[in-house]
Amino acid sequence: METILEPYANVAKSGMWPKEKEMAGKQTILGSSVSNIPWEEKPKGCAEVAWRYSGNPIIPRYPFPGAQGVYNSAAIAWKDAFLGVMRVEHRDSMPRLHLARSADGIHWDIEREKIHMTGAPADISHPAYTYDPRVCRIDDEYYITWCNDYHGPTIGIARTRDFKSFEQLENAFLPYNRNGVLFPRKINGMYLMLSRPSDNGHTPFGDIYVSESPDMMHWGRHRWVMGRGGQWWQSTKIGAGPIPIETTQGWLLFYHGVITNCNGFIYSMGAALLDRDDPTKVLYRSNEYILSPAADYETVGFTPNVFFPCAAVCDAPSGRIALYYGAADTYTALCFCQVDEVLDFLKTHSTVF
């Protein structure tokens, strides 16, 4: 049950993980050991690259009085256990961010009160809704990014060191924007964030861009990374999912791709590999989805047919990845994959456009 969280500070200074050279060829993920990662072996005969946890959904529809769904949420390894920043839908149908704790990454104890943040100017500190959080460790700080209400959806940022006090920073972008996802270390001296400029409604378009910042406050040099299109499953819009995973071969990015059919949107999960030094360069991109709504808890709920990944816990030595995803805007679910298998899949099922 040992969790070793190596400081990203070394990476920021040297641009390289400690002992990275020695690990080359042995370990694909450049990260820490999380030996108690939630995990289940791939079922015999399963032909998929990623497979669902047999105990899904891990958070039920009504987890506590006052909540009508917990989904599209963040989870991280924390000391010998796990912490979550959850999207909790209240009974006024408004989503808010709540802290959650788990010993095993599967069973979650969710705080009844929403996270209290301080430090932001009054005009941005009382959003009516906050949703789809991601949590990213950079050096010794943890940054939460989420879709924040400010005259429409935009990207909010807060930081914490202890998950007791949370300092809210300026919003990163003008409205409208969603799916703000930070990289876990500076690249070429700058913080980088992926996002998906959007509209004020159920956005019928959307590409992934990257923006950079010297200080987490001022964001600019916005560049296009990858767009919707290509194959139908990702033809309407795409959005970054969990924090990109650094591998020896590039940044592994899981994302959602959306098709519009005659009954509405269908959200599936794909993946891409971005260049480690210049993430605007897409090296591989899945032309088939990795998983698409199929289980009952993905196809039946408040919004049927939504598979929405928001967090990945990785155990670098074993290459295991546990992905947390929102199912049907109602449940939280888990699926698993092995990094090398995902990279092989990407190389054999890739179209970059």
Binding residues for ligand BMA, rule: CB under 6 A, are: 72, 131-132, 202-203, 303, 306, 308, 326, 329
Q: Measured from the CB of residue 138, what is the shortest distance to ligand BMA in angstroms?
A: 24
Which run of H or E residues covers position 299? helix 296-299
Question: What does the DSSP assignment read for 158-183?
Answer: EEESSSSSEEE---SS-SSEEEEEE-
Nearest approach, Cβ of residue 29 and ligand BMA (Å): 27
CB atoms within 10 A of CB 80: 12
β-pairing, 95-102 vs 109-110, is antiparallel
Question: If you search the block for the tokens 């209290």, which residue do you land on?
Answer: 116
31 vs 133, which CB is nearer to ligand BMA? 133
42: tokens are: 């791939």
Q: Which is nearer to ligand BMA, 243 or 316 (CB)?
A: 243
Instruction: Choose between 287 and 303: whose C-beta lies nearer to ligand BMA.
Output: 303
Q: How far is the CB of 132 from ligand BMA (least distance, A)?
A: 5
User: Using CB atoms, what's the residue nearest to ligand BMA?
Assistant: 303
Report yes or no: 187 and 250 within 8 Å, Cβ to Cβ. no
To ligand BMA, the closest distance from the beta carbon of 73 in angstroms equals 10
Alpha helices in the chain (DSSP H): 9-14, 20-23, 296-299, 339-348
**Cβ proximity to ligand BMA, 84 vs 326, nearer residue:** 326
Residue 73's nearest CA partner among 105, 48, 116 is 105
State the minimum distance, in angstroms, from the CB of residue 186 to ligand BMA.
28
The token duo for 137 is 């460790």
For residue 52 the two structure tokens come to 């669902």
Minimum distance of ligand BMA from residue 281's CB (angstroms): 27
Task: Report the residue number, 63 or 279, with the smaller CB distance to ligand BMA.
Answer: 63
* CA-closest candidate to residue 71, choices 54, 85, 55: 85
- The structure tokens listed for 181 are 């996802």
Which residue, 138 or 323, is less far from ligand BMA as judged by CB? 323
